[in-house]
Structure formats: structure tokens, C-alpha cells
């Protein structure tokens, strides 16, 4: 199953998109995130990807009230990333109705916490790997570590993470296509993990290419907000691939 997952990035209670993670290069696409969530569900989405941009900088969830409103607005699962760095953050997120929580900065800086989170919440914990030139970025992409993205993926897989969201920062918000070589390397590095691509998807061809190289899904953002990609048509097209096999 290949999932096409719409993204809702939250900043100051609004749905925005950044360019290459730069907070100073934000475009506001709406001040009604729950309404946007309903729109993507009506287009056929089976899951939503929400990012608390303010939380990623602050080091703790900053917009759980908005996240809870999104969860209440739809009947499909919602996953959240951004500032999830302590057990109480996870508890609050799941209490708000999240299906999955994405650990990014914590995956690099606090292996013991990741272990505790997996022990308690199992497959609800998703690894978030955001890479700049192959190295993992943290704290809302403000800092770049010396940790290799593929090495981190293998480590998370050993720890029991079953899903990873992999973002190539250089492609994020650029509408120039995903980094297929990097995605293929990531998929090969962790064959027992579902790898979801993020960053750069600009059209249907990008989604098909990601599906063909073995990604479990793709997060789509700017392309569906600008109209460059029609979400409903993309989901329908991918569902028709592979001789009628169900892809979504």
C-alpha cells in the first residue's frame, strides 16, 4: 500500500508551508487547519501528517489545541511531529487523539527516551529523519548534526521503529521533485521499515517514481496547496496501478 499523505504545517495557529525549512520563508495557506483537514479527507486521504513548527523550535508541543481540533474534524488517523521530546509530550499528544507521534530531534539526542517510548507505545512511534546533505538536522532544521541519515535509520530499526518519515531538506517546498537516489538508499538501508518520503513532490510522476522504488508513501504539501497536484486524482491514479492492486 502506497499512502499519499497530505501535510498540514502549523505556525501560529495557521496552515503554512516553508521553503527548505526556513521560518522566514513561510507562505500562509489558511487560518482554518481543521477545515483544511476535512478538505483533504474529502479528497480521499487516508491519513494526515501534521507538523507543529512552533513546537519544533520550542522543544515541546506548542499547538496541541489546534491539533486536537484537527483530530476532531476528521475520521482518518492523524500523525504529529514537532517538539515531541519527552514522555509527557507523547502522553498529551495521544490524549488529544493522535494515532502516531514522530520523534526527530529526540531520535538523535536521546536514545534512551526513544527506547522508553517504543516500549510503551510500540508502533505508534515513528522515526523522523530530516537530512541536509546526508546529515541529520534537528530542532526544526535549525541545527545540522554529524549523524549520518542512513546510520540513524539503521539504529532506529534496531531499536524497533517500524516506520520512518525521511525528508530531504534541500527539496522541501521547492517543487523540484524528490531526491530519488537518497530515498532509494534509505529504503535499501532499512528493508524491514516502512519509509515515507517527504520533500519535493511536485506532480503525479514523482509519486509514481517513489512507489516504484519501494517507498511506503509520500507526504505532499506545497504541491496540493498551490494546485500543482490534485490530491484526489493522485490517490485514484495510484490506486489503479499494479494491475488493479490497491495502492493508497
Contact predicate 205/230, CB 8 Å: no
Phi–psi pair at 136, nearest 5 degrees: -80, 130
Dist CA 229 CA 241 (whole Å): 18
Q: Is 9 a catalytic residue?
A: yes
Residues 6+ apart with CB under 8 A from 235: 4, 43, 44, 45, 248
Distance from CA of residue 188 to its chain's centroid?
A: 19
Between the alpha carbon of residue 219 and those of residues 116, 164, 198, the distances in Å are 27, 12, 5
Buried b (16+ CB within 10 A) or exposed e, 91-111: ebbbebebbbbbbbbbbbeee
Q: Is 130 a catalytic residue?
A: yes
| Dihedral in degrees, nearest 10, Cα atoms 158, 160, 165, 169 | -40
Q: Which of 52, 130, 155, 206 is catalytic?
A: 130
> Which candidate, 171, 165, 158, 168, places its Cα nearest to that of 104?
165
Contact predicate 248/46, CB 8 Å: yes
Q: What is the DSSP letter of 43?
A: T
Residues forming the active site: 9, 130
Amino acid at each position: 500500500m502506497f499512502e499519499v499523505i497530505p501535510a498540514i504545517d502549523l505556525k501560529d495557529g495557521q496552515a503554512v508551508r516553508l521553503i527548505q525549512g526556513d521560518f522566514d520563508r513561510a507562505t500562509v495557506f489558511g487560518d482554518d487547519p481543521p477545515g483544511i483537514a476535512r478538505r483533504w479527507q474529502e479528497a480521499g486521504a487516508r491519513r494526515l501528517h501534521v507538523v507543529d513548527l512552533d513546537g519544533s523550535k520550542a522543544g515541546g508541543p506548542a499547538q496541541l489545541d489546534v491539533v486536537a481540533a484537527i483530530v476532531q474534524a476528521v475520521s482518518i488517523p492523524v500523525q504529529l511531529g514537532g517538539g515531541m521530546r519527552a514522555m509527557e509530550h507523547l502522553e498529551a499528544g495521544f490524549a488529544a487523539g493522535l494515532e502516531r507521534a514522530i520523534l526527530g530531534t529526540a531520535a538523535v539526542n536521546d536514545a534512551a527516551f526513544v527506547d522508553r517510548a517504543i516500549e510503551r507505545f510500540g508502533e505508534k512511534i515513528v522515526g523522523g529523519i530530516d537530512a541536509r546533505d546526508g546529515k541529520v538536522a534537528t530542532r526544526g532544521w535549525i541545527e545540522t548534526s554529524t549523524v549520518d541519515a542512513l546510520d540513524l535509520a539503521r539504529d532506529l530499526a534496531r531499536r524497533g521503529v517500524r516506520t520512518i518519515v525521511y525528508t530531504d531538506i534541500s527539496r522541501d517546498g521547492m517543487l523540484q521533485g524528490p531526491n530519488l537516489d537518497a530515498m532509494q538508499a534509505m529504503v535499501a538501508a532499512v528493508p524491514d521499515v516502512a519509509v515515507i518520503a517527504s520533500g519535493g513532490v511536485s506532480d503525479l510522476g514523482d509519486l509514481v517514481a517513489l512507489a516504484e522504488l519501494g517507498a511506503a508513501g509520500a507526504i505532499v504539501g506545497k504541491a496540493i496547496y498551490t494546485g500543482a497536484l490534485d490530491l484526489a486524482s493522485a490517490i485514484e491514479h495510484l490506486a489503479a496501478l499494479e494491475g488493479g492492486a490497491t495502492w493508497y
